[in-house]
Structure 1
Amino acid sequence: MAILVIAEHDNSSIKPATLNAVTAASKIGAEVHLLVAGSACAPAADAAAKIAGVGKVLLADAAQFADQSPENLAALVVANAAAYGHIVAAATTVGKNFMPRVAALLDVAQISEIVAVETPDTFVRPIYAGNVLATVQSSDAIKVITVRATAFEAAGEGGSAAVENLAAAADLGKSKLVNRELTKSERPELTAAKIIVSGGRGMGNGDNFHRLLEPLADRLGAALGASRAAVDAGYVPNDYQVGQTGKIVAPQLYIAVGISGAIQHLAGMKDSKVIVAINKDAEAPIFQVADYGLVGDLFEVLPALLAELG
């Protein structure tokens, strides 16, 4: 049977994590369909049709999908689930919101954040904050799966899929988006950045993030991240959080400043290609995963580093 991937988008373009989900779906089976549900989202559907490996794009364009509420989206997916053996989405904030609803409505177990595909019914997923990899086999007729985007390459362009209109069910009216506050930044988006500079509780306060970390991120063309401790302390917004309960990242370069290396944080960044740690505590757990470690006071190290970068 075909595989249905639920696209994450902004009604005009496809979010990068969906490309990784398409790659994962392609490893499960050859026929991949992509569902684009939104309002005035034809441009997103056209972009989806160009993704390599996508055989068909299903377009559900209706006012009730404008904000992609999890209740309406889950109902749409379930209404069309019978034609598919697998339903796949990226394990982003959006995917984690609506996919459990899909699994519950279908009365099947969700297989969360897979990092590898063994066979069409057997998958590998991390447990215990990524310290153990579990191989999970499912006998459910429809397998509901979320994908850890950092574990799969992004699908490229070159596709020419047909776009098919899908009948939209009525608005369930169970929730309404009242307001959305977005953090605007000229820096790269955290989960798509090739370089990330992250700060922890050791930064002391939010002013030090602005004074020391932001100039470093700007010099390197990097995204800005933070540990949960820094977010909980109010230094930066929670969409900066990297970790098991934040965003999972795997950039080419990850610079951890004033981060001790709690297991929750390591689970979100330990797949980075090169990890640089700056911490005054030589026994900090972050040094166990770091490729390069510098034991020193960040308030002395960062100004010196910025001076060297010019």
Structure 2
Amino acid sequence: MTILVVADHDHASIKRATFNTVTAAAECGGEIHLFVAGHGADAAAQAAAHIEGVSQVLYVDAAQFEHGLAEELAAQIAAIAEGYSHILLPATASGKNVAPRVAAQLDVAQISDISRVVSADTFERPIYAGNAIATVQSGDKIKVITVRPTAFEAAAQVERAAVVETVPVVQPAGKSTFVGAEISQSERPELQGASIVVSGGRGLGSQAQFDALLSPLADKLHAALGASRAAVDSGYAPNDLQVGQTGKIVAPQLYIACGISGAIQHLAGMKDSKVIVAINKDPEAPIFGVADYGLVGDIFQLVPQLVEQL
């Protein structure tokens, strides 16, 4: 049994979610191959070769993969799928975009967002915003799976390097064209990979107060900034900061929720955090039900006091 893991990367390095996906692949059993598709992504391919458990890296270098277009990646993955029992992708924006297309081309069902490997053909995945766990068994010859990164430990990096093999490029699918990208730049850690996250909710009242109150705390802790859906919908924070079922799933070592009531949509995205600190004026707020530490009071007084103590 051989398993193919599709790497999420930025052409220079492998993103952390891929390391978690390799761990999930190892739990399925069998040999692990890591697939890297890019343009001028030699550094990423070499980095992939040093992930523990990976026996071979399959690298394809072509202009059609420069911008990670899902149609191009899916066509290439489907072309090399023969002989693999599993194809695993991290449940990131890229992975969730590519996996359904691969499954459709292979005429198999996709198993989404698994949080546990029971056996080589049986998996657990959260449903109803994490309030229930479904156990799913697949009889497909090739199992196409997306992996919830926060549910698995990251594979280690090792000195020994796996073999990097170049694979033939398929004919471009030509179904989509890259037009442009507007990417926000920040000196803070990337939200999904951060060890500390400071999040704000609608209780902050405005974008100005969101920035003024949370930025000093995040700077002191070298933390990433996050936001509830309510805060994003109200315009206090950009979409890429949204934590929750329809945003980003995070599981940092420390999660500080400021002015967040704890709607089920938000809890689904952060309740696996190792330590949760909640600051809210409402003692009955649902966020306190998952918090390890709770502060009941005015966030506009408590957060500055916390920053001062740090």
Give me the TM-score of the superposition, normalised by structure 2.
0.98
Match of 2:98 in 1: 98
Show CA shifts across 1:272-309 (max 9, x none): 11111111111111111111111111111112222222
Structure 1 residue 30 displacement after superposition? 2.7
Q: Distance in 1 between matches of 2:143 and 2:236?
A: 40
Match of 2:121 in 1: 121
The 5 Å alignment of 1:124-163 reads 124-158=124-158, 159-163=160-164
Q: Distance in 1 between matches of 2:205 and 2:184?
A: 22
The 5 Å alignment of 1:252-271 reads 252-271=253-272
Match of 2:86 in 1: 86
Q: Distance in 2 between matches of 1:203 and 1:102?
A: 42
The letter for the 2-side match of 1:33 is H
Q: Distance in 2 between matches of 1:236 and 1:209?
A: 8
Q: 5+ unaligned residues in a row in structure 1: which ranges?
A: none
Show CA shifts across 1:36-92 (max 9, x none): 000011111111111110011001100000011000000111111112010001000
Q: Percent identity?
A: 65
The letter for the 2-side match of 1:270 is K
Structure 1 residue 149 displacement after superposition? 0.4
Match of 1:248 in 2: 249
Q: Distance in 2 between matches of 1:171 and 1:209?
A: 45
SS in 2 for 1:55: strand
The letter for the 1-side match of 2:129 is A
Match of 2:2 in 1: 2
The letter for the 1-side match of 2:276 is I
Show CA shifts across 1:83-140 (max 9, x none): 2010001000110111011111111111111111111001111111111111111001
Match of 1:202 in 2: 203
Matched, 1:307 2:308: yes
Give me the TM-score of the superposition, normalised by structure 1.
0.98
Match of 2:22 in 1: 22
Matched, 1:272 2:259: no
Show CA shifts across 1:235-268 (max 9, x none): 1111101111111111111000010101010000
Q: Distance in 1 between matches of 2:119 and 2:111?
A: 14
SS in 2 for 1:98: helix
Q: Distance in 2 between matches of 1:161 and 1:283?
A: 53
Structure 1 residue 181 displacement after superposition? 1.4
Q: 5+ unaligned residues in a row in structure 2: which ranges?
A: none
Q: Distance in 2 between matches of 1:161 and 1:46?
A: 9
Q: Distance in 2 between matches of 1:303 and 1:16?
A: 32
SS in 2 for 1:89: strand
Q: Distance in 2 between matches of 1:113 and 1:287?
A: 26
SS in 2 for 1:84: coil
Q: Distance in 1 between matches of 2:188 and 2:253?
A: 16
The 5 Å alignment of 1:42-121 reads 42-121=42-121
Matched, 1:294 2:291: no
SS in 1 for 2:140: coil
Match of 1:284 in 2: 285
The letter for the 2-side match of 1:289 is V
SS in 1 for 2:54: coil
Q: Distance in 2 between matches of 1:150 and 1:34?
A: 20
Q: Distance in 2 between matches of 1:150 and 1:72?
A: 27
Match of 2:191 in 1: 190
